[in-house]
A and B are shown apart, each in its own frame.
Chain A
Amino acid sequence: DQQVKQNSPSLSVQEGRISILNCDYTNSMFDYFLWYKKYPAEGPTFLISISSIKDKNEDGRFTVFLNKSAKHLSLHIVPSQPGDSAVYFCAASPNYGGSQGNLIFGKGTKLSVKP
């Protein structure tokens, strides 16, 4: 049973427009959420995170929104650039700084930004 779901396997966006990647989770005990980007033949690269006590976090072109009541988070990329083309993973943690140590990942969304 998947606890973190990314229901869109792929997304195609025009350069300069907004990319919105979505993620749903089922476990209300998750208290920390992260987004990673992965290029082929590389490991995932940390992008941005958000604690469950916040509903928004911004870092440059990247903004993550968290809706705890809906158990939903989204990553907005504005403006999108061709170099953003990659697979994006949503991850959740049930135990930030604690004794379990695991991140639970979704299956990823492949973003293609067309020039």
Chain B
Amino acid sequence: ETGVTQSPTHLIKTRGQQVTLRCSSQSGHNTVSWYQQALGQGPQFIFQYYREEENGRGNFPPRFSGLQFPNYSSELNVNALELDDSALYLCASSLVRGGGEQFFGPGTRLTVL
């Protein structure tokens, strides 16, 4: 059974640029959630996708957007990058939508200069 994978591992961008992060969910999981983890903080919920539809969104501006594909993999897009967007971005997949057990990937470390 393959776990959650994310790419790339690390990324450096400059302010104002756009970035796309990718996630492959665990086999059999139809739900993907994205979280942002700043240094010294717990993960903060960005949004969740269930069967290609958004299923809840946290307190993040519209320049954070996402997609889920028919194979349940997902993308997180961030436009007009700001310095405060520097963080670890975590993807998690689950068997059920909502707030049950979610299984996390290793994350993508984004640095905005």
Residues of A within 8 A of B (CB): 4, 32, 34, 36, 41-46, 49, 89, 91, 93-108
B48 interface residue (CB < 8 Å to A)? yes
Residues of B within 8 A of A (CB): 4, 31, 33, 35, 40-45, 47-48, 50, 55-56, 58, 90, 92, 96-107
Question: B40: which A residues are within 8 A, CB to CB?
Answer: 107
Instruction: Report Cα–Cα, A108/B110, bound state, in Å.
Output: 21
With A100-B99, A102-B33 in contact, is A44–B45 under 8 Å at CB?
no
Closest-by-CB residue of B relative to A41 is B106
Instruction: Report Cα–Cα, A94/B107, bound state, in Å.
Output: 24
**Docked-complex contact A101 and B31, CB < 8 angstroms:** yes
**Docked-complex contact A104 and B45, CB < 8 angstroms:** yes
Question: A98: which B residues are within 8 A, CB to CB?
Answer: 97-99
**Docked-complex contact B106 and A99, CB < 8 angstroms:** no
Instruction: Report Cα–Cα, A104/B58, bound state, in Å.
Output: 10
**Docked-complex contact B106 and A42, CB < 8 angstroms:** yes
With A43-B105, A107-B41 in contact, is A96–B100 under 8 Å at CB?
yes
